[in-house]
Chains A and B, each alone.
Chain A
Amino acid sequence: MRVVHYLNQFFGGIGGEEHADTEPQVHDEPVGPGRLLGQVLGEDAQVVRTIVCGDNYATENMEALTALVLEQTKDAQADIFVAGPCFEAGRYGVAAAGLCVAVSSELDIPVVTGMAQENPGVDLHRQTLYIVDSGKAASAMREVLTKMSNMAHKLASGQDMGSPAEEGYIARGILKDTFVEQTAAQRLVAMLDAKVKGEEFESELPAPSFPEIPAPAPVADMSKARVAIITDGGLVPKGNPDNISAWAATNWGSYDISGKDGLQGDDYEVSHRGYDTRYVEQDPDRLVPVDVLRELEESNVIGELHSQFISTSGLVNPIANSRRLGREIAAQLKESEVDAVILTST
C-alpha cells in the first residue's frame, strides 16, 4: 500500500506559528509523525511521499494547494491519502479535511484524517469523511495513528465500517438500521431506570442543532410591499402539472393567481400525505389565503399580492432537500422583487 501524507509546518518539523506561511514542500519519504505512521501501518504499507505546508499558506491558497496535492498524490501512485492528525489546530484541520474531500472525489482513493471533535474541520465535512477522533492532546499521537491506520486498511480492503464507538471516528450523523437484542420497550425502561437513578445512559439520538439565521429587518412600509404566499401544505392546480410529490418533495411549483379574488376548490388539489386534506380541498384559501390578502391589497394594507403563490410538500422532507428548495425559491422571489413572505405550514 502506497501512502501519501499531508502535514502542517509544525508537525512537518519546520517550526511554529512564525512559519505558518511556509509554501508546500514535497518529500519522497515519511516526515515527523509520518515515520510512526509507516510503522503502525505495517510491512505491506509505506509512506512514499509527504507534503508539508504552512497553515496560513493553506488557508489563503487552498485552490493552489489542492491542485498541487492532487498532482503529487496521483504522481506517487498512492493507494491511500492521509492528512494530519490535526488535534485542535483549526486551520490545519480545515485544510486537511478539504484536501481529503478533494482527493477522494478526484482520485477515488480512500482518505483518512484525524482531529478533535471541536476542530472546525469536522463540521465542514463530517458527513463525507471518516474523521478519527484524535482528542486534543498530541501526546496521544501513537494511539491516534493506530486508529487511522486501522481505518486506512479497512477502507482500502473495502470492508464495512463499524460504528463510531468501535472504530474511533467522529459520528457522521448518518443513520444505519441494526437489529439489536432488546426490544424498544426494554430499552426504554432500562434507560429510564438509569436516568432516574442518576446513572449514565446513552440516548439513541443526539439533539440536533440548527444554525441561527439572523432575522432580516422588518418591512418598513407594508402598504408598499409586494407580499408572496408560500405553502408547504402541497396545494397544487388540479392535475398536479409539476408532479409535486406528496412527501419528501424534491421540487416546487409557482402558480398564477393574478386577478383572482380567492381560490376555488374545483381548481386545486392537495399533494400531501401528512394531514386530512378535505378542508383545504373544500376551500383552498384555508391554506393559501388569497381571498383575504387580495382584500388587504385593495384596501392598501399591503402594496401588492405577488402574482404567483409557491407550493411544495413539507411532509418528511429531508433537511438537505428543504435547504435546496428554500434556496431556489428565494432566488426566484428575489428576482421578482418580493419584499416579504407569508409561509403557511400545516
Chain B
Amino acid sequence: MRLTLAIHQIGSLSLGAATLLDGNKLVVDPEELRLLILEDTRLRSVDIETVSPGEDCRIGVVFDILEPRAKEAGSGPNFPGILDPIGVVGQGVTHVLRGVAVTVVDGGAGLENGKILEMTGPAGEASPYTSLHHLVITPHSAENVVRHSEQASLRLASVKTSVYLAQCALEITPHSAEIFESDGPVVQGREGLPRFAYIGQVHSRQRVAEIDEKILYGDNTAGMVPVSLHPNEWLDGAVVTCNRAMGAETYFYQNHPVILELYRRHQDDEITLVGTLATMAASDNEERDRNCMLAAEHAKWNLAADGVILTKYGGGAPHADLSLTARRCEELGIRTTVQVSDMSWDRRAESALLFNYPVVDAIVYVGGRDTDWDVPAAGRVIAGSGELAEELGAPRRLIATNVCGVSSQQGISRLRAMVH
C-alpha cells in the first residue's frame, strides 16, 4: 500500500470572507464552516476562532486536536465510519495543511484533570502544539442532549472541520510530498533486515466505550480483539482518540511518532516495517489473557516479527495488558520494547512499574508527574463558558500530564523520568 501526503506549509491563519489557500496563507470562512458544523442538530451554536503560535492563550478542556487533511478524489474516504462511509484508507493522495491544527474545546468537561493547551511560557515550550496555528472550535450542545451524544457531536465536528479546511488545498500544487509505502509482511527483497512491528492500544476498557463513540473505522471497539492494520491506516484517518483520552490526540495518530520513526528506518533500509496491531486494554483477566495471546501469536505467525514496539492507552491497569503482550512476544522469541506512562505519585521508582516480568526489560519511561509549572493569568482564554474561562484563565499550577503534547502516550514526548 502506498500513501502520498501532499504537504502544504502554512505560515498564517486568519478568518475571512472565503475559505482559501493563497501561497502559505490560509483563510477560513467561519460562516460557511459554522453552517457545516451546525448541520448536526445536537449542536445549537459553535464559536470559531484562531490562535497564533506562541500566543498568550490558554485553551481548555481540549476534546481533541487534529491536523487538517483531505483526500483527493478517488483516494478513498475521509475519516471512514465517522464522516464518510466505510472504505479503506492509507492509499492514494491526502492533502495536508502542515503548521495548522484543528482544536476542539469540550464545553461539557470539568476543568479538573482536563487537558489544557497552553500556547506560551515554559509549559508551552514543552509542547509541539505551540508552534502551530490553531483553528479552535467550541461547539455548544442543544438542550436535552445527553453527555455521550454531546461527545459524539464534538467528534463529528472535529473531523468535518479538519477535512473542510484541507479541501481548499486539493487543487493546489503542494510544497512537498511524503511517501509511505510498505508491502507488509510478505514483502520481497529485504532479507537480512530485522522485521519490526508496532502494537498500540487505542482504548482502555477501564471505561466502557459509549455506543456512539467512534474510535477505529468508526466503531467503538467494544468486544474487539486485536485488529491488524497497515501502518498507513493509522496515518490516514482509520483511528481517532476516544471521548476522553489521556496523553493522546488524533494529531499524533495522523503523525504517529512510532510509525513515522519505523518508516524512516524502513526507508533507510535499516529495518523492515512489517505491520501493526491496534489493541484494547481489557476489562477482566480472561479478556486480557485472550487478547494478549492473540496479539503475540499474530506478531509471531502472521507478521513474523523480530522485534515489536508496544505503547498503551488509558491509566494504570493497561500496563498489565502492555506487559503481558510483551512477555508473550518474548516467550515466542520476539524482542520487545514498551513505553510506560507515569504511575508514580510519590516519585519513587518502586511505585512506578506496574508489572514485573524479567523478560520485559526494555522500558521507555515518559515522566510527567513531577514536572509542573506555576503559570500566570492567561492573556486570552478559550473555554466552554464564561465561568470556565474565568477559572481557567486565573494563575494556576499546570502538571505536565494535563498539558497537551508534553507527556504523551503516543511517543512524541521528550520527557523522561530519570532514576536518581
Contact = CB atoms under 8 A, between A and B. Distances in A.
Nearest to B347: A175
Contact of B194 (A173, A193, A274): A193
A192 B336 contact: yes
B412 interface: yes
B335 interface: yes
Interface string B24-64: 00000000000000000000000000000000000000000
Interface string B296-311: 0000000000111101
Contacts of B19: none
A204 B417 CA distance: 8
Given A204-B416, A205-B419, A274-B315, A177 B364 contact: no
A204 B364 contact: yes
A19 B356 CA distance: 44
A276 B148 CA distance: 14
A320 B348 CA distance: 9
B258 A188 contact: yes
Nearest to B252: A185
Contact of A208 (B260, B353, B371, B414): B353
| Range, interface on chain A | 35 or more
B271 interface: yes
A189 B351 CA distance: 25
Interface residues of B, number: 65
Contacts of B346: 318-321
Given A174-B348, A177-B370, 4 more contacts: A172-B420, A189-B309, A196-B306, A318-B344
Given A177-B370, A248-B345, A171 B258 contact: no
Given A192-B309, A317-B345, A179 B351 contact: no
Contacts of B369: 175, 177
21 contacts: A172-B420, A173-B348, A173-B349, A173-B419, A176-B347, A178-B416, A179-B126, A183-B261, A184-B364, A185-B257, A185-B411, A186-B261, A188-B339, A192-B337, A204-B419, A206-B349, A207-B356, A209-B356, A210-B356, A276-B206, A276-B207
A197 interface: yes
B227 interface: no
A244 to B, nearest CB: 16
Interface string A22-45: 000000000000000000000000
A316 B345 contact: yes
B68 interface: no
A172 B347 CA distance: 11
Contacts of B414: 179-184
B367 A195 contact: no
B343 interface: yes
Nearest to A202: B362
Q: List 4 tightest A-B contacts by C-beta distance, closest first.
A: A318-B346, A185-B411, A185-B257, A177-B367
Contacts of A207: 353, 356, 358, 361
